Chains A and B, each alone.
Chain A
Amino acid sequence: MNASNEKDLPLGTTAHYANMHKWLQRGLFVCLVCLVFEAALSFPLIAMWMGWPTLTLTEVCHEMEKVRFADDSRECIVPYPLFGPAEAKGQKTAQDTWGIQPRPHYKRIGYRDLVKFRDERLAREAAGARLRAERDVALKAGLSAAQPQQ
């Protein structure tokens, strides 16, 4: 490396390490740009993956709890009391294979699966309610048919 080339190098970089410093600088720039994009877009993209805006953020929170603890009755408490106990303290419903290396059995959450899970659950609940109503009607009809005979 001749003297004029040495003078072209950034301050603190010797000719021997010039190439390495050049590639490190490129790598650092790529990392910075990627980190900024990733950090800025994480929240909106995760929320969209989980079903927002079809589901509100609170509903997303409810649905994730139902998956995590395998319990359709679980709901996020929003806002949570400031010094309350941990939300899931003492829960008994989560499904795991317990051992020295526990293995969870919750469902994998694909793109907007939480919307699907919510709709399926609501349909199940509606079908259950309809069945119960039909059974009640049938019971009442049976009773009223039986009463004159008494």
Chain B
Amino acid sequence: MTAITNSQSGNFGNYDAHQSDSAAAQLRADKWMISGTILMGTAILGLFGLPLFLYGLRLQINAAKAGLSMRPTIVTLIGYLVIIDSALNSMGWTLDLFANHTLVNRVLTTGWGAMFDGGYFWHYNELWLGGAGAPGEKAWEIALIPVLFCARLAAAIGLLQMKRWGQQWLIVTCWMGVIVWTGYNTNMTIFADIRYSGVTFPVWGWWLYDIWYITPFLSLPYLHTVNREIFSE
């Protein structure tokens, strides 16, 4: 037994070295991408975060080209995009839910409402809870911030760690996202007078602004067709 182990120790050693080199290169790339994502998740500082993220992505791609075992680029993009998408959605809605009387919210959110979605302008801060008073809007906020976006953030972190539960939970939360898009747009269509009357860029403006949040629709086809063996138990 000892002899066998010793005879193969060179091979295991090479394998281990490759593994540790790969992990170190991935960690180095992730440190840049995490820093970039924290800044991008703040919205206003996003332009400072993007170069950091892109540099980390380049480090990862170069390490993979050099032969190290790195996370697939598409998994990296899905993971970090889901985090940014959840952060931006949560921040906007949390401002409306909890900080609806701050000056920044009354300029940013109601200004955005006047330009793209009257639900965030119409009778704003008249509801006892404050913020948007459009039918159904508060229910979406209360349901989605703690349930969907928190779960999706956790799933994205698991996915970036190449965990099987991360892939599975991202599938679950992206399907929740499909339900959200369907329900939310149906609500907006039924109450279209409130959402789009007197709005500067109605309907097409809203779609142009919000289309970039279609992460679930781009993630699901990949998550269902990737070889799941690459994610560890």
Contact = CB atoms under 8 A, between A and B. Distances in A.
B74 A24 contact: yes
A108 to B, nearest CB: 5
Contacts of A33: 50
Interface string A84-126: 1111110100100000011111111110000000000000000
A107 B45 CA distance: 32
A84 B101 contact: yes
A38 interface: yes
Nearest to A81: B101
B168 interface: no
A35 B84 contact: yes
Interface in B159-217: 190-194, 197-200, 209, 212-215
Contacts of B114: 50, 64, 67, 109
B58 interface: no
B225 A17 contact: yes
B222 interface: yes
B222 A103 contact: no
Nearest to A105: B198
B77 A32 contact: yes
Q: Pick the most buried of A31, A58, A88: most chain B CB atoms within 10 A of its CB.
A: A31
A108 B199 contact: yes
Interface stretch (B12-20, B24-32, B126-134, B145-153): B126-134
A68 B121 contact: yes
Most buried by B among A39, A85, A102, A106: A39
Contacts of A38: 209, 212
Given A39-B43, A86-B127, A110-B200, A32 B111 contact: no
Given A64-B114, A104-B197, 4 more contacts: A13-B72, A40-B45, A61-B110, A64-B107
Interface of A: 10-14, 17, 20-21, 24-25, 27-29, 31-40, 42-43, 46-47, 49-50, 57-58, 60-61, 64, 67-68, 76, 78-80, 84-89, 91, 94, 101-110
